[in-house]
Structure 1
Amino acid sequence: MNKTYTNAIKNLIFICSCILVLSACKKEKVPEKENISVVKNTFTIHGTLKNFHPQEVYLNKIIENSIYVIDSSKVKNNTFSFKGFVEYPERFAISFKQYSSTVILIVENADITITIDANDFENTPIEGSKLNSEFKNYQLNSKKIFKKITYLFPQFQKYRLENNANQLADISRQMKEIEQEYVDFSYNYIAQNNNSYIAAIILRDQLKNTKIDTLKIINSYNKLTDSIKKSPDAHIIALTLNLH
């Protein structure tokens, strides 16, 4: 197989995975609690379960590729709830006793309602949270870009069987264009929403790409407002790139 095409496929598969629901995090014991400043506002998460019946639901902190249980809720009449506070909004994972699937949501100090259907974990409705709605819109627009890939796979199979190097090279070029379209879309979104916690979340995800444009990430980070730079996602960016 054409090496350039293979690299393009790997890059796009990786990026697609970043915008889909995280479903394979490793569960760990919760680490020693960090010092967190008490804030006045609190969050509540009211959850409803459909088409599966776990006895207990867990709220998890995400650290790298693992999740750590920080709270649990017994399921009663297919419902569960969590209450607490966060100093800054960030992504958490909801997991379930005796089930391997997880659902990602942004926890902010708001009254959040979530309906989780075992038949459609990826499209979990989350209401009452402006940040989750904003991030969902970003994901939907990102997926529109990657839908273009579906038209390339049948062609790829055909030209691979024919061992048609010229056509495979052309597909590789198209894949790179789609990849660049997504990257440009993400950075434009960050620039236009530099006072949003979603911008910090998206920018942090750029650190996970197989090809990292360090200068571009730093320039985008510098354009974030001071309040957004205090968020956990922005802090990780600064720590990773030695920006403090």
Structure 2
Amino acid sequence: MKKFICIAFFSLFLFNCENEPKTSYVIDGKAEGVYNGIRVYLNKVNERGAPIPKDTAIVMNETFSFEGSVEYPQLYYISINGTPGRFPIILENGKSSINIDSKVLDNTIYVGSDSHDVLKAYQDKMDAFDAEYMKAKDNYKEAEFLNDTASIKRDRQVLVDLTDKINNFQYEYVEENNSSYGMMPILNTLINSRDVDFNRVVKIYEATSDNIKSSEEGVRMKNTLDKMRLVFEAEKATAIGEIAPGFSAPNPNGEVISLKDVVSKGKVTIIDFWAAWCGPCRRENPNIVKVYNKYHEKGLEIIGVGLDGRRGQQNPKEAWEKAIETDNLTWHQVSNLRYFDEIARTYSVNSIPRMFILDSDGKIIAKNLRGQALENKISELLD
């Protein structure tokens, strides 16, 4: 009986030890064919992709090791002197091993991290997709070269379908692994992609654990999503067919002018975002002057929103007023002199020149017309 109790106690002790939180990591490394003294680096990267050193190891007898601790699993990179590139790993506390291929770093094998396994499985699948896509692209190019109309149509559709398949896989994979830190680099890639499904990535992020949300990457991701939400909401609010958001700001004399006041005076109103420092804006101003002079008596109003006040600009108010005078801008001009200020953000303006054309009710009916296209549109509305 005592023997049974001892065995049971020992088993329970082992179970508890195995399930105790790991507070440090040890990476045992092999680097076959690498000379003694060669350095191996363990780095993070900042938001711009520049390395942030974590640790350095020296190869001795084709082996090396890293020891330390991380607060939570994080994306790190292994690199080695004399070998181009870097190998991504999800570093977490516990014991792991890495076998570096010094000739082709991508062939490196890292074992011992469940979070890394999630990332590695994704990378393997994406590598297979890349090979499939390149083959399909080669087929399409060959069809174009042969001017084979039927094959061009077929192969183009293959590329479209494959692109959709890859895109769906990426989102579904992150959704299925939303409790793993290993999906964080993947989700970050999706968030920063040009064709991001914003609502979907928000749902994925919100479904992650509190530990992931409170991590450094999780907090950074939340900040990015919050900024993106403002942009998406602004784009939605300033879409064609929507009533233009109201705003007010001081003119050169300090008098506060509102968009509502300007719209009430005309049949058509242009909101023109520009700045004294903006070359393309200044080059377009003569065309806007011509259109204004031709159609003002027929009901055209313009309110220019100056985005002067950028960092390093000398005397922004003086520069703004001088540009107004030099370019003969005789319509309403307002500016907070705070660069891309809250008015610009409300209209999702992140580059200039930008233009919005409103009807007499303040509804947006056109955007970003320049040159002859602008005159044609105003003529259509007022002639």
Give the aligned partner of residue 187 of structure 1. 171
Cα distance change, pair 169–237 in 1 and its aligned pair in 2 (3 A):
farther
Q: Deviations over 1:66-105 (max 9, x none)?
A: 2122221111111111111111111111122344332111
1:84 equivalent in alignment to 2:39: no
Residue segments in structure 1 that go unaligned for 5+ positions in a row: 1-38
Deviates more, 1:185-194 or 1:143-152: 143-152
> What CA distance in whole angstroms lies between the structure 1 residues aligned with 2:83 and 2:129?
32
Instruction: Select which of 60, 64, 81 maps to 2:43.
Output: 60
Structure 2: give runs of 5+ residues left out of the alignment: 1-20, 230-383
Q: Say whether residues 1:42 and 2:24 are aligned partners.
A: yes
Conservation of the 8 A alpha-carbon contact between 2:34 and 2:59:
no
Q: Provide the residue aligned with 2:95 in structure 1.
A: 111
Cα separation, 2, equivalents of 1:99 and 1:182: 31
Change (3 A) 1:232 1:169: farther
Shift of 1:207: 2.4
Q: CA deviation at 1:58?
A: 1.2
2:155 to 171, 174, 182: 171
What RMSD, in angstroms, separates the aligned Cα atoms of the two structures? 2.5
Contact 1:48 1:116 in 2 (8 A): yes
CA pair 180-235 structure 1, distance change in 2 beyond 3 A: farther
Alpha-carbon spacing, 1:108–1:91, altered in 2? closer, same or farther (3 Å): same
Q: Give the 3-state SS of the residue equivalent to 2:186 in structure 1.
A: helix
Q: Deviation per CA, 1:78-135: give whole Å up to 9, x if none.
A: 1111111111111111122344332111100011100001233212211122222222
- Conserved? CA contact 1:112–1:128, under 8 Å: yes
* Count of equivalent residues: 206
In 1, Cα distance between equivalents of 2:215 and 2:156: 37
Partner of 2:106: 122
Partner of 1:162: 146
Secondary structure of the residue that 2:70 maps to in structure 1? coil
Given residue 57 of structure 1, which amino acid in structure 2 is its aligned partner? V
Distance (Å, rounded) in 2 between the aligned partners of 1:220 and 1:165: 42
Please show how residues 211-230 of structure 1 align to structure 2 within 5 Å.
Answer: 211-230=195-214
Please say if residues 204 and 234 of structure 1, whose CA atoms lie closer than 8 Å, have aligned partners that are also in contact. no
Show CA shifts across 1:40-66 (max 9, x none): 700111111124436111111112322
In structure 1, the partner of 2:117 is 133
1:194 partner SS? coil
The secondary structure found in structure 2 opposite 1:91 is: strand
Identity %: 26
